Amino acid sequence: MVDKSGPAEDARRVKLVLSGLSSLAVLPSVAAEATAILFEDPFSSTQLADLVEVSPALAVCVLSLAHDLGVDVEQRGFSLTQVLGRLPEDEVRTAVLSLDLYHMDTPDDVPSDCLVLPREDLVLHSLAVAVCARKIAQAMVVGTPVRLAYLAGLLHDIGKMALHQLMPLGFAGIVSQSLQEGTSSVPLEKASLGLDHGVIGKHLARRWQLPAPIQTAIWLHHSDMALVANPSGYADMARIVYCADVMVKSLQIGRSGSFDRALDLRRLAALLSVDSSLLTEIHDNLEDAVKEKAVSLKLDMRNPFQRLSRLSIRGAARLSREKVTISQQKAGRDRVEDQLEFFMAFLKGIRGGMDAIDLVEEFARRWQRQYQTGKVLIFFESPASPSLIDAVLIDELNGAQRLLLEGDQDYERLFRRLGRGALLPEDEEALERVWDRIGKAFSRDRSEYVVLSSEHRSGLLFELGYPRDADDLAQRFAESAHLGQKVLQLALSRDEQERVAEEFSSLTRPETLRPQQPERCGWFNAMAEMAAGFAHELNNPLSVIFGRAQLLLASERDEERVRSLQQIEENAQEMSEMVEDLMAFAEPPPPRPQKIEIAQVIEEAVQLAAFKSGREEIAVSPTLSESVDRIYIDSGQIVSALANILVNAVESTPEEGGDVSLDVTPGASGTEVQFSIRDHGCGMDALTLEHATTPFFSAKSAGRQRGMGLAYAARVIDLNSGTLSLSSQKDQGTTVTVTLPVS
């Protein structure tokens, strides 16, 4: 059969072989140094950069990774240290440790003199060209990026390195022939392979996404530079590498497998448009500069494979430890996922209007479903009636029974002997008598007991549905019980708040006020005391809800759960602001009265009202009597109170309804000043007027406003020895009359 192969067919075969090359192999000594650096956590980017600068294999690896991750290495002033600092450590570690080691086994039937070019010599030659290229770039008047010139020199022979790696015997034959004939290897490569190492390097550089100037230098560094115009705008880079290659070969630093090009520094200087004396200086000092840089290659390392073996053992031990840690973290994440699932299922079961016993029943049902238990029983003691114990029993069929038990000695003993989070009580007799009183038999050998809250003396008793690991049970149940504790605290706090609200409401009814007692002394003081207790009761559970929601949000990735947690956080924040409003009403700071000009108070109140209503200014027409000019008050408190009244007046008045009027006149007794604020808005009916100064009362729809403006105003005016009264008719406007002392 006639062999019809030609240069084109040979080139296609070579490209096919090269297509399987994912990276250059790294010298064992370099691999040992890189492994030692990368085993540190975190590793030093500076140390690794020093090693990348002397190894073509590492340089290709890092530049290719940088391109894949969108890190620009062509920007002005870049350095390998900066590039490595911007790459994720794990990505760098994985890429570098995945490189193949260069290790050639000499076949028995191949003469040793056939393998004439050790890999170390080829790497050393490339390093020398890189050092020389950087010095040339620094010397040029119109220079190219110095660091890119260095890398172009380091990588200029990656085509040869690929042939050396994949076709060692064929490449050795080309090098031997080049040595015998004293010529360049390029025509021999074309004759044997159909293409030269410059073209091969260009294809590899393009596939590995190396910077465009480096691709051009790799491709053209063996071309006749006098004929190279400026392809792709990177001719200068190719000229620099060409000249550096010639200068290094003349000094015989390392070997490249090509034996041509006599040194003519004048011709090189003309190509570079530099003074030949600069190239002479670079040439004379190059060997010392390369020796200093080549120290990082560790070419004198006696047995790099032995060191790599020791490092591999260390790495295996580290991986084993990390695997254990990951397993533990996974178990922890599984528990967190378990708790989140439980938590979210419980939240979905909550409906508006549920009281403490409803919430506890829902919690018990979710517990039964989550852990596939048998009967579940929850005890808890209500602060309103500590002599009685509330209980909810969920049977195997998910049916519920609510019980009310006496808080007798057995119950006391039970909780006195239990510690927070303990499983199975020590006082079995007391627990058994409690069980008997309930009238439902629990399987003794399958039952567990978890304390929910020592403060509220509450616990959860349940039957296990199937055998489970005791340690795993204890941790999972304790975490879920912590949620149950918070649920119980919130439920009981809400019930207490309901009770406080009912008492609070009864205080506002006219029949609760004694006729002979001034209204502000009885009504305000009692209301403030009740509000303070109400706010303090709310504050702790709200802090817990808000904190837990933020903690869960920090580690949550599921979008639906994130939205649910954000809703919890937002509503908790809203409730927290309501508590702040209530605290401001219940416990305002004691007033610090002093003589203040009335005109100044009005001006500040109008400005504050505009700010609160979100307007640049509000239409208020003040009228001041000349007979009074000062009042004796706490300026900050009264300004805030008058601003709240003005905001209500402005928001009640349509734009066409006219200005809000503010008249200041002397009081009848001569010891006080009267402020009359009148609007022409919607007015109030009798019911609204009666409750207008009650905290959280608002005629607007729920969620629009908290109804604290007039309540706060009345409170601080009362503290400043003043009074506030209202008169209003539906659709005819409202007048607020405030009296304040002169002295």
Let me know whether 245 and 267 are in one domain.
yes
Contacts of 184 by beta carbon, 8 Å cutoff, 6+ apart: 178, 222, 258, 259, 260, 261
What percent of the chain is predicted at pLDDT more than 90? 8
Q: Looking at the domain assignment, is residue 464 inside a domain?
A: yes
Name which residue leads in pLDDT, 316 or 276.
276
| 453 DSSP β-pair partners | 458
CATH number of the domain that residue 654 is part of: 3.30.565.10
CA distances from 516 to 7, 64, 172 (A): 119, 90, 118
204-227 pLDDT, tens digit each: 999 999 988 888 889 888 876 555
Residue 311 token pair: 């490092």
Let me know whether 561 and 694 are in one domain.
no
| Range in 247-261, 392-406, 635-649 the model is least confident about | 392-406
Question: If we measure between CA atoms, which residue out of 67, 94, 360, 350 comes closest to residue 214?
Answer: 67
CA distance 515 to 541: 39
- The enclosing H or E element of 193 equals helix 186-193
What is the total residue count of the chain? 743
| 662 DSSP β-pair partners | 622, 677
Does the pLDDT value for residue 8 go beyond 50?
yes
Task: Give the mean pLDDT of 343-371.
Answer: 75
Q: Looking at the domain assignment, is residue 342 inside a domain?
A: no
Work out the pLDDT band at 304, boundaries 50, 70, 90: confident
Contacts of 333 by beta carbon, 8 Å cutoff, 6+ apart: none
| 676 DSSP β-pair partners | 663, 737
The overall pTM is greater than 0.85: no
Let me know whether 484 and 615 are in one domain.
no
332-352 pLDDT, tens digit each: 676 667 767 777 777 777 776
572-599 pLDDT, tens digit each: 676 766 666 666 665 677 788 888 888 8
Q: Is the dihedral of CA 620, 625, 628, 629 positive or negative?
A: positive
Determine the Cα angle at 465 with ends 464 and 467, to 5°: 75
Contacts of 303 by beta carbon, 8 Å cutoff, 6+ apart: none
| 377 DSSP β-pair partners | 393, 461
Q: Is 660 helix (H, G, I), strand (E, B) or coil?
A: strand
Confidence at residue 713, expressed as pLDDT on a 0 to 100 scale: 80
Question: If we measure between CA atoms, which residue out of 237, 223, 236, 241 comes closest to residue 186?
Answer: 223
Confidence at residue 181, expressed as pLDDT on a 0 to 100 scale: 83
Domain limits for position 605: 594-741
Burial of residue 504 (number of CB atoms within 10 Å: 0-12, 13-18, 19+): buried
Does the pLDDT value for residue 261 go beyond 60?
yes
CA distance 211 to 234: 11
Does the pLDDT value for residue 506 go beyond 90?
no
Residue 529 token pair: 């005391």
CA distance 125 to 286: 12
Let me know whether 138 and 286 are in one domain.
yes
Confidence at residue 502, expressed as pLDDT on a 0 to 100 scale: 57
Q: Is 317 helix (H, G, I), strand (E, B) or coil?
A: helix
Does the pLDDT value for residue 472 go beyond 90?
no
What is the four-CA torsion angle of 304, 308, 311, 315, rounded to 10 degrees?
Answer: 160
Contacts of 260 by beta carbon, 8 Å cutoff, 6+ apart: 182, 183, 184
Determine the Cα angle at 45 with ends 39 and 48, to 5°: 65
Task: Give the mean pLDDT of 240-256.
Answer: 89
Q: Is 539 helix (H, G, I), strand (E, B) or coil?
A: helix
Work out the pLDDT band at 129, boundaries 50, 70, 90: very high
Task: Give the mean pLDDT of 709-715.
Answer: 78
Let me know whether 581 and 613 are in one domain.
no
Contact indicator for 542, 575 with CB cutoff of 8 Å: yes
Pairing of strands 620-624, 630-633: unpaired
Residue position matching structure tokens 């956590």: 41
Q: Looking at the domain assignment, is residue 335 inside a domain?
A: no
CA distance 680 to 16: 90
Alpha carbon 306 to chain centroid distance? 43
CATH number of the domain that residue 256 is part of: 1.10.3210.10
Confidence at residue 510, expressed as pLDDT on a 0 to 100 scale: 46
Let me know whether 146 and 288 are in one domain.
yes
Let me know whether 493 and 556 are in one domain.
no
CA distances from 644 to 27, 82, 264, 547 (A): 79, 58, 92, 32
End residue of a domain, out of 463, 482, 502: 502
Q: Running DSSP on this structure, what letter comes out for residue 594?
A: E
Confidence at residue 33, expressed as pLDDT on a 0 to 100 scale: 87
| 378 DSSP β-pair partners | 392, 460
Residue position matching structure tokens 């502000």: 520
Buried b (16+ CB within 10 A) or exposed e, 445-461: eebbbbbbbeebbbbbb
63-110 pLDDT, tens digit each: 999 888 888 887 766 788 888 888 888 899 888 888 888 875 544 444
| Range in 64-73, 216-225, 419-428, 434-443 the model is least confident about | 419-428
Does the pLDDT value for residue 159 go beyond 80?
yes
Let me know whether 430 and 386 are in one domain.
yes
Work out the pLDDT band at 2, boundaries 50, 70, 90: very low
Q: Quickly list H helices, 523-590.
A: 525-555, 559-586
536-563 pLDDT, tens digit each: 556 666 666 766 676 677 667 777 777 7
Q: Is 31 helix (H, G, I), strand (E, B) or coil?
A: helix
What is the four-CA torsion angle of 263, 267, 272, 278, rounded to 10 degrees?
Answer: 60
Residue 38 token pair: 């990368």
CA distance 359 to 275: 89
Domain count, the chain: 5
CA distance 509 to 302: 97
Let me know whether 669 and 699 are in one domain.
yes
Give the Cβ contact number of residue 167 at 10 Å: 17
Q: Is 449 helix (H, G, I), strand (E, B) or coil?
A: strand
Q: Looking at the domain assignment, is residue 11 inside a domain?
A: no
| Angle of the 470-507 helix axis to the 356-371 helix axis, nearest 10 | 160
Contacts of 681 by beta carbon, 8 Å cutoff, 6+ apart: 649, 651, 652, 653, 654, 657, 733, 734
Q: Looking at the domain assignment, is residue 170 inside a domain?
A: no
Name which residue leads in pLDDT, 433 or 294.
294
Let me know whether 600 and 583 are in one domain.
no
Let me know whether 581 and 603 are in one domain.
no
Evaluate the omega torsion of the peptide bond into residue 42 and state whether it is cis, within 30 degrees of 0: yes
Average pLDDT, the chain: 75
Work out the pLDDT band at 274, boundaries 50, 70, 90: confident
Let me know whether 497 and 558 are in one domain.
no
Q: Looking at the domain assignment, is residue 178 inside a domain?
A: no
Buried b (16+ CB within 10 A) or exposed e, 729-742: eeeebbbbebbbbb
Contact indicator for 70, 83 with CB cutoff of 8 Å: no
End residue of a domain, out of 502, 528, 552: 502
Residue position matching structure tokens 């207790």: 533
Q: Looking at the domain assignment, is residue 251 inside a domain?
A: yes
Contact indicator for 428, 461 with CB cutoff of 8 Å: no
Confidence at residue 553, expressed as pLDDT on a 0 to 100 scale: 72
Question: If we measure between CA atoms, which residue out of 340, 372, 367, 397 comes closest to residue 468?
Answer: 372
Task: Give the mean pLDDT of 46-72.
Answer: 90
* R_g of the chain, CA atoms, integer Å: 43
Work out the pLDDT band at 154, boundaries 50, 70, 90: very high
CA distances from 718 to 610, 632, 695, 711, 735 (A): 24, 13, 15, 11, 18
Name which residue leads in pLDDT, 58 or 399.
58
What is the four-CA torsion angle of 652, 657, 658, 660, rounded to 10 degrees?
Answer: -20
Segment of 123-132, 159-168, 465-474, 687-696 carrying the highest mean pLDDT: 123-132
Q: Is 519 helix (H, G, I), strand (E, B) or coil?
A: helix
Work out the pLDDT band at 285, boundaries 50, 70, 90: very high
CA distances from 60 to 68, 103, 125, 145, 658 (A): 12, 19, 17, 18, 78
CA distance 585 to 581: 6
**Backbone angles phi and psi of 453, in degrees to 5:** -155, 120
Q: Looking at the domain assignment, is residue 182 inside a domain?
A: no
Question: If we measure between CA atoms, which residue out of 439, 450, 442 comes closest to residue 488?
Answer: 450
End residue of a domain, out of 451, 484, 502: 502
